[in-house]
Structures are given as C-alpha cells and as structure tokens.
Amino acid sequence: MVNIPRRIGNYELESETGQGGTSQVWLARHAYLEQRQVAIKILLAQDRDTIQRFTREANLTSRLQHPNIVQVYDHGFYDPFYCTILEYVNGGSLQQVIQNEGQLALDEALNTFKQIASALDYAHSFDIVHRDVSPGNILFERATGRALLTDFGIAREPSQSMTSVYTIMGTPGYWSPEHTRSATEVTPLSDIYSLGVVLYVMLCGALPWDEIPGPPQNNFGPPLPLRQRGLRNLPKEVDRVFQVLLSTDPAKRFPTAQAAVNELERILLRHQAVTQQKFRPPQLLGEGSHSWVEPAASLPLDPPPATEDENEQSIIESVLGPDLIRAPIVQAEEQAKRLYQPGVVAKLLNQWAKQSFWRKQLLGRLAKLHMLRSYHLYFYRLRVVYEIREAPQLLEEPDHKKELFPLEPELTPWDVELPPLETFEDNPGNQEYLPGSAYICTCPSCNGKGKVICPECEGQQRVYVTPEELADSTYASSLPEWLWAKAQEVFPKLKGAKDAAPALEHEGPFEQLDQNDLLYVSCPACEGRGGHPCERCQGIGRLVQHKAFYWQRIVDNFEVHDELSPLVNEAWLRKNCDLQPIYCEQAKGPFRPEWSRIRQLRRLIQQAQAETDDEVQVALSEVTIFFLPVTDIFFDLGTTEEPSEAELYRVSIYGFENLIPSDWRFLNWERVMLLCFSFFLLALLGVFGLVNWLFPC
C-alpha cells in the first residue's frame, strides 16, 4: 500500500482517476485558484530507468503545443515522488465511452478521428512517434467534445537511445505488424495503422479481426468488411480506406493521417451528394479516382467529358486501391490543390514564357482561365519469367549403382518441382528426370551378356593378313617376334621392313599370291578375345532408362502507357519528369485476376500469354505502374468574348516538376516575323553584293 500525500506543491489531491503499472493519476485542485483543476501523474516506481522514462515523457509532451494533445503544466520531484502536472480532461477516455455506450455515431467517430489525426500529424512533424495510439490514450472533454491524445510514455524521437531492440510496446490489438517485430521498427506510419484500428472500433465496437493478431503467429490480415460487423449505411469505398490504413506494408498506408481524413471526407461527401441530391461536388473522373475536374469559378463552362483513359484511371484506384503506394498520390493531390490557387497558374505560365525569347511574353497575364483538370498519366510495365519445359525424352545409363526406385505414379514435366524462382533473371536451366518413369531393362545391344562380338574377327579371335598389311610397320610392330619370323619365311621380301613402313611396293609376286599365301594372326581389334565390352551398358548387361526433360527460364518485358497529347512525346517525359512508382506487385503462376480488369494491363497480359503453349508457361510476373500528375489548363487570350470549348487553348503541366512542353501556338510571331524579315534583307544584300562583285560597273 503506497501512502500518497494529500497535497503536492500548490495542489490538493481530490480523487484517483486512473492507475497504470508504475503510476497513478489523481484529480487535484489548486490550493488558491479554486477553479483550476489539474491531473497529477504520480510515479510510484523508484528505479533509475523508469524515472528517466517518466521525465523524458514530460519533457517531450511539454514541447507539443496542440489543442488535441494534453498539455503539461509542470514536472518535478515532490518528495517522495516524481510527478507531472497535466491538463485535466473531464470526459473520460474513449475506452470508457466504448465500454459504457458501445460504438459511436458516425459523425462523432469521424470528428474524433479527425482531431486525433491532426494531433498525430503535428507530433510526427517533430519526428515523434507515439507508439501507443489506443482508446485508452484518447480523452474527451465533455463540454466541448474535444478529443485529446495523451500518454506519450513510450513515445520515440530520433535522439532516443533507450528503446530495447526486440521489445514489443503498445496495446495488444492496436499493434501494427512493425510493433510485433521490434519497438525500434515503429514509425509514424505505425501510428496511422493504430489510428485506423481505433476508427474501426469506434464505428463497429469491435476490432477489425475475429482474433487479435500478434506474436507468435503475427497473423495480420485485411480487416473484416464493415457489413460483417453490421454497418450497412456506409459506402463500400470506406472498406477500401480501412484496407489502406491497415495495410501490412507501411508504404501502402496513407503517408499522413490527414490524407486518410481527406479520403474519408471525399467518399462521404460524394455518398451524401448521391443519396440526398442537395449539392454537386467537383466532378470526378470516375468513382474512387484521385483525379478530378474542377471548373474555374469565374466561368460556367462544363468540363469536357471523361475520356476512356480517364475512366481507366478511376478503375486503378477501385481495383488496386489497397495495394497502391500512397505517398506520391497524396503529394499529387496537394500539388493539384496548389495549382488551383489564384495566381499560381498565371505565374507558372509567365515563367514558362520567359524561358524562350521566341515565346509570347506575359502569357499568364494574358490568359483568361476557364477550367483546370487534374488527373494521372500512367505508365505500365509487365515483367514475365517464362518457364520452358520441353517434352520428355527417354534417356538411359548403365545400371552401376543398382539403385532401387520407388513404385510411384509417373509425373508430367509440369508436376516436377524445380529450384525456387525468386528473381527476374534468365536461367539456362538443366535436365530433370521424371519421378516414376525409371525402370531396369536388359541391354538390347548385348542381350545382357555385357559383351558384343568383335566386328573385325566376328568372334573368331583371328584374322587373315596379307603381305601388304604386314608391311605396315604399325601393324607389324604389334606382332610377336616368332610370328614376324614366320611371316618372313613365307614372304621373303618382308625382311627389314618391320621398322620402315611402307617397305614393300605393291608389285611383283605380292599381286600373284593366292589364299594359301595368307597368314592367320590374332585379331588386333579385340586382341584375340573375340569380343568387346558393351559400350551401351559398359559391360553390366543392364540399363536404367528414365524419362527426362530440359527446362530453362527467360525474362521478357512488356510496356505501354496512356495516350499522350500530340504536343508531348514519351522520350521528353522520361528525360525531364520523375516517374513515380505507385504499384508493384508480383504473382507466381497465373496473373492476378484484378490486373485484367485494367484495360492497359489486359493488353500486356494478352501479349504475354500469346507467347505461351504446352511447353512454355508464365512462372512469375510483376506489374509496376508509374504515374505522372498532369493538370490541364483551359484558357483563352481574350481574342473572343464568349469562346466555345473548341476555341480554348489547352496546356498541360506535367510531373511534380510542373513542366510545360514546347508549344508553337504561343510563339511571339512579331519576333519571328522580324527575324525572318532580317534574314530576308541579309540574303537580299548578299545577292546584290555577289552580283556587284561578279559584274562590276
């Protein structure tokens, strides 16, 4: 039992409002300022590390001055405890509200989410990661409905060196996958993950999964659809927002909490516009797209109808949304919003005009804007690893090992497991045997004897030789001395010819010899054995026959991009603009079915599939989608009072670099004509000078 003093500094303790593992929180009132109520967090532990963490928390929180973060008033040692004096929030925690009342109403949940998102983004701007965003650390102010983030006890900042490498910190159920690996891997994107779980709990009253993910399985997966939790009054796009918020890959989450707020507000605003028909939001280029059309307020012109490519761009968001890399998409949105601000486009046009002496100067001042349209220009790349497995062939080898082959079904080449495929690299492959295809057979060449009859002597072990053959020193040198002596008796002209071949001429009595003049000698081919070891079975008499196939892997690339304006080409874009990857996913075996729902990818997949047959299949594929933000400006130069849509100039701004390609329509024709006239005069003077020189007066 810890004896807590009734007074700490100028504050008198009134009641305990909370307790943790190492501290207690008390409601206290100022001894002299009766209306001043505070919360005092009293550290009960006395060890050095805990005191250091407690002091660091107070110091860190005191730096964060935000309306949705609980403020620190004071901190110090009040014998015998270390204490932190905090702003008192009189509405309890979100955890208590959910326990007592269940799920929150939609507007209340979104309002809370928006406030805590603002607090987190503010903390992240100081590189401070909370690491324990959960309902227990979100407080409510009863009178105003203000939500406040509290308890930065395990928060982390770049200079911190106290975190244990393999320690898991936070509240179970609100952990991100990084939390469960190590406290040092937790980033601002981990806080956004936890905030997504908090929003889900506020809306549904339950966690996004039936079982809490965490060690040792770390079975993190996509959240359950809201309809399975009984919420049927929200558009399906909200489920996609949760898939992004709770993505296991941090790069696929919203880069900031405010980006998630903006996406939710956009979806709900569109949903209300459709159901209530009370207002019309800026026209979207297809449902779920990050591209939009927004007419300038000064003119009533309707935006151009969405093209096929623009409709395709909206499908990318709806089909691949949870797997998209969010940071560049949000950056493109923010850039488009900046371009919509008054004067930004005019300044950009003026700067572009100044880059060339031959362009119309002060173009931004002359241009009368009618409409802006922002969208994404996509570049698609499909990488494919083709695996080639040729038709099996029958191979054989001598039965040296006397190996016992298991009795099993014979597999096809595509049933055989090959070395794992992990990278997009060519592989020359190898030869693989088909399991279940091996059997032992008698060698058909020797009928199992292990030997074959010598074709020279036909098994007789001897052959007849003529003087001409004996005269060959190579042959003669292989004869024994006694046989060579006998040959010399039969053929006198052989004397002295053993070491000098050819020693005899093919004439005289040699041509007149009959069969009686032939000599029986040992067969030199088989050395008198009458046969040879069978080369086919290597003398064993048995063969092992297998079916085998050859395989290899070949990488191929396919690329396509959205249709470009006639005023720009792909080479210029790739050279001057930084293409941002927003999607990169792989598939082993067949292509992912969602890829075929995107028209441009469907074209690439059809090209890749055209290369396949019974022996060639796709083993690994990867789709990468790059994009450039594009903003089209529609304006006139004041030459027509009421221009039609066809009479408007259209200029496109490409990339995050805000680049505009060259455009002959905005040449300063006065300067061009002056230059042409100057060249004409110079040419004319040159002609006169030449004539004068050739034909002097």
Residues 6 or more apart whose Cβ sits within 8 Å of residue 458: none
178 contacts 166 by C-beta, under 8 angstroms? no
The three-state secondary structure class of 171 is coil
Question: How many distinct structural domains can be found in the chain?
Answer: 6
Let me know whether 543 and 653 are in one domain: no
**Residue 164 has what pLDDT?**
54
Let me know whether 272 and 156 are in one domain: yes
Let me know whether 40 and 175 are in one domain: no
Let me know whether 614 and 689 are in one domain: no
| Among candidate residues 34, 69, 87, the one where a domain is terminated | 87
The answer to whether residue 378 is domain-embedded is yes
The answer to whether residue 577 is domain-embedded is yes
Let me know whether 434 and 348 are in one domain: no
- Closest alpha carbon to 263 in 124, 122, 376, 113: 113
Enumerate residue ranges in the chain where pLDDT < 50: 162, 277-310, 498-516
Let me know whether 570 and 657 are in one domain: yes
186 contacts 156 by C-beta, under 8 angstroms? yes
**d(C-alpha 327, C-alpha 332), whole Å:** 9
**d(C-alpha 5, C-alpha 40), whole Å:** 12
Q: Which long-range contacts (CB under 8 A, 24 or more apart) does 587-593 make?
A: 587/620, 587/621, 587/622, 588/421, 588/619, 588/620, 589/618, 589/619, 590/618, 591/618, 591/621, 592/623
**Residue 306 has what pLDDT?**
42
Let me know whether 523 and 640 are in one domain: no
Let me know whether 73 and 191 are in one domain: no
The answer to whether residue 319 is domain-embedded is no
Let me know whether 102 and 239 are in one domain: yes
User: Residue 17's domain is classified under what CATH number?
Assistant: 3.30.200.20
132 contacts 169 by C-beta, under 8 angstroms? yes
| Among candidate residues 62, 87, 112, the one where a domain is terminated | 87
**d(C-alpha 191, C-alpha 130), whole Å:** 7
What's the 3-state SS for 258-311? HHHHHHHHHHHHHHHHHHHCCCCCCCECCCCCCCEEEECCCCCCCCCCCCHHHH
The answer to whether residue 229 is domain-embedded is yes
Residue 493 belongs to domain spanning: 451-533
The answer to whether residue 129 is domain-embedded is yes
The answer to whether residue 397 is domain-embedded is yes
User: Residue 164's domain is classified under what CATH number?
Assistant: 1.10.510.10
Q: Which long-range contacts (CB under 8 A, 24 or more apart) does 394-397 make?
A: 394/545, 394/546, 394/547, 395/433, 395/545, 395/546, 395/547, 395/548, 396/536, 396/543, 396/544, 396/545, 396/546, 397/543, 397/544, 397/546
State CA 331 to chain mean position distance: 19
Let me know whether 122 and 250 are in one domain: yes
The answer to whether residue 51 is domain-embedded is yes
| Among candidate residues 501, 533, 565, the one where a domain is terminated | 533
The answer to whether residue 125 is domain-embedded is yes
Let me know whether 507 and 630 are in one domain: no
Residues 6 or more apart whose Cβ sits within 8 Å of residue 503: 471, 473, 494, 496, 497
Whole-model pTM: value is 0.76
Let me know whether 249 and 115 are in one domain: yes
pLDDT tens digit sequence for 489-509 = 666 655 555 444 443 343 333
By the 10 Å C-beta count (0-12 exposed, 13-18 middle, 19+ buried), 165 is classed as exposed
